[in-house]
Structure 1
Amino acid sequence: MKKTLTVNLGGTVFNIDDDAYRLLDNYLSNLKMHFRKEAGADEIVDDIERRISELFAEKLSAGSQVITIADVEEVIARMGKPEDMEAEGESASADSGSTSTGGGYGAGAWNSNTAYGTTRRRLYRNPDDKMLGGVISGMAVYLGWDVTLLRLLLLVILICGVGTLDRKSTRLNSS
């Protein structure tokens, strides 16, 4: 049996378990600390909070009734850590054209497991660069490959695979 809390997040009320609440509260506090020196820091954090609220609403529309710690970890991975947001912002504004080595691009390929202090990679669909749902794009981010290269490679595999399936089925039918 777990203790649940009722929270208002981005103007929407959610039931959230105690562990998930602590993780989410810690994440929002880190965001506030990160953006405290920026102009419009409150608006930035409010926008992020509203986006988190939208993602939680999607979870609840799928049939859950309570936001769990797994849901919060998934949303944090999708939104990115404050350090990743800083790295992306600096690389976008830098004139030298250098890229950030942070793992927080689009698909949320990195997930920080705060309970154990380890970092592990996760595979997600990439909603920012999707052709057929963003699956191939998410795999490209996970592997660190160019998305076009991976799409072409999988197309070649698909074409070659269909040819071998036809030959195997004819051999089975003839015997």
Structure 2
Amino acid sequence: MKKTVNVNIGGAPFIVDEDAYGMLKKYLNEIEIRLDGVDDKETMQDIEIRIADIFNGAISAQSQVVDAALVKRAIAIIGSAREFGEPRRSLPDQEPGPGPDRQRRLYRSRREKIIGGVCGGIAEYSEIDLTLVRVLMALFIIFGVGLMVYIVMWIIIPLEPAKQENYNEYRR
């Protein structure tokens, strides 16, 4: 059993399975970052209309859901995103890189944790080696009030939000 998504492509409604939706979204995003900024909306609309035409031609009364095979077929007909040139900007789904626009927050790590993820979160936030943070925390615990500080940080620092599942990359 697969999840399906109702989408509007090129002005036409379609039911698309979740894997196919991920592929199609990634493909359209990759094309969008390669456009030069002139008439981007019109170009993207034309591409969506072409995709809708391909889907309409392939959908029958038996199969009304767009699947990954049909998306791959549409991509093969239209052409790879690389054919639209080199990327001119970053993908909209990507996290912002380091710089003044990036908003950083301190979280307890979901991946790098032994007890509560506090050391892992501090290491990720400060971009230093996790082992160094753990050694320093162990020294604070042995020689002072480190245990109390760790417990308070465990309570106060929120757990890192779960990230959405990454869709499988489309294959040619």
TM-score, length-scaled by structure 2: 0.48
Question: Greater helix share, 1 or 2?
Answer: 1
- Compare relative contact order (CA 8 Å, sep 6+) and give the higher one, 1 or 2: 2
Using the size of structure 1 for normalisation, the TM-score is 0.48
Structure whose CA Rg is larger = 2
